[in-house]
Amino acid sequence: MKVNIINKLYDRLSIWKRKIQHFLQTLLAFIKWFGYHRRVQVLFAVLVISLPLFLIVYGIVLPAKNHKPFPVTSDISSDTVLSGKISLNDDMLASLKNIISLENEKVFQKNRLSLADKDSIYLILDLRDSLLLLEIKGVPVRTNKIIDLSKSRRFSLISHENLLPWISEPFTLERELSTIPKMPIVVKQAPKDTAEAAQTSSTPLPPESTAVFFTFFFDRNLAIEFEQADPLKEEDYPVIKSYRSKKRKESRHSVFQTLKSPRQADQPLLIRIVIDEADARAIYRAVPSRTHLILKL
């Protein structure tokens, strides 16, 4: 019986061995054929580089080359023409930098004033002092120190003349992605009688421990990524994986949008912020779904 099984196994192995030998011989013949035909090699090389080249040219080189900040008004264009004749010495340059800083501050305080009149909770992102503030009616209720901050290179490419109108109104939140729910709702059915009520536990649920990562997508192409500084726990990985996969999907969608219109001027401006887990959770839970953001540059 045992000998029979071993023989059958041996036969099968020999068949597989022959099949593999045949495949390798075919492959070798194919490679030899490929090596002798120069035209086929060229066709293969062209095919291989065609799609990556297309993506690089239409999705990266062209948008970067034609990158135009927004919003470009006709007034600014005419000023830019005039600016060719202006030369600035060091004192004038220092004075101009101070004016730019004052103009940014004026726009920032004006935005605070406009939101202070509304009955809403809003965010202030102060890139100058690395602070993230939560305000209600002009009163700062929470000030968070930003642990790490990085922003898109596009910011340094946009002139003050274009940046000023861009930040002159508060940004409005349009959509968001997050690892935690907006409200940690628990649904409870009312007990039928006192006996059932006595059986239900009155002990509160343990505090939430899910890692806090979220991205806010504002109008005028501003996106802000919030990440917790605290190290991740093993149970966080599936949630983070799902969040990152959603973000990659967004990114891939933008790739195809760019390919459809490679000359578009309004590429998203991304800011990445790292704050404490408690701060990130409080900020995410506190702001309403259509919250506003004031950006201080």
Partner 1 sequence: MKVLVVFFLGLLFSALLSWPIVRNFSRIQETALRFKPKAELKATAARIGPEKFSTYQASLEKELAAIRKKLAAYIPKQPYLIINTSGNDFLLMKDGQQIRHGMCSTGSYTVLQAGEFREWIFKTPRGMFHIQGKTPNPVWRKPDWAFVEDGLPIPSATHHSRYEYGVLGDYALSLGKGYLIHGTLYKRFLGMPVTHGCIRMGDEDLADVYKTLPIGARVYIY
CA distances from 191 to 169, 201, 274 (A): 51, 12, 44
Q: For partner 1, which is the closer residue by CB, 6 or 94?
A: 94
Instruction: Read off the amino acid at residue 223.
Output: A
Q: For partner 1, which is the closer residue by CB, 83 or 168?
A: 83
Give the residue carrying structure tokens 């994986």. Answer: 241
Q: For partner 1, which is the closer residue by CB, 4 or 202?
A: 202
The least CB distance from residue 21 to partner 1, in Å, is 20
Q: For partner 1, which is the closer residue by CB, 17 or 65?
A: 65
The least CB distance from residue 154 to partner 1, in Å, is 6
DSSP 77-98: HHHHHHHTT----HHHHHHHHH
The least CB distance from residue 79 to partner 1, in Å, is 5
Q: Tokens in use for 161?
A: 């003349």
Q: For partner 1, which is the closer residue by CB, 3 or 186?
A: 186
The least CB distance from residue 44 to partner 1, in Å, is 5
The least CB distance from residue 192 to partner 1, in Å, is 6
The least CB distance from residue 166 to partner 1, in Å, is 12
Is the Cβ–Cβ distance between 265 and 66 less than 8 Å? yes
Region of 84 (left: φ > 0; alpha: ψ -120 to 50; beta: rest) is alpha
Please state, in angstroms and rounded to a whole number, the distance separating the CA atoms of residues 294 and 167: 8
CA distances from 285 to 88, 122, 181, 273, 289 (A): 48, 12, 8, 17, 10
The least CB distance from residue 197 to partner 1, in Å, is 4
- Please compute Rg for the chain using Cα positions: 30
Q: For partner 1, which is the closer residue by CB, 22 or 137?
A: 137
Paired residues of 139 in beta bridges = 136
Q: For partner 1, which is the closer residue by CB, 11 or 266?
A: 266
Q: What is residue 58's DSSP assignment? A: I
Instruction: Read off the amino acid at residue 107.
Output: V
- The SS3 of residue 23 is helix
Is the Cβ–Cβ distance between 221 and 202 less than 8 Å? no
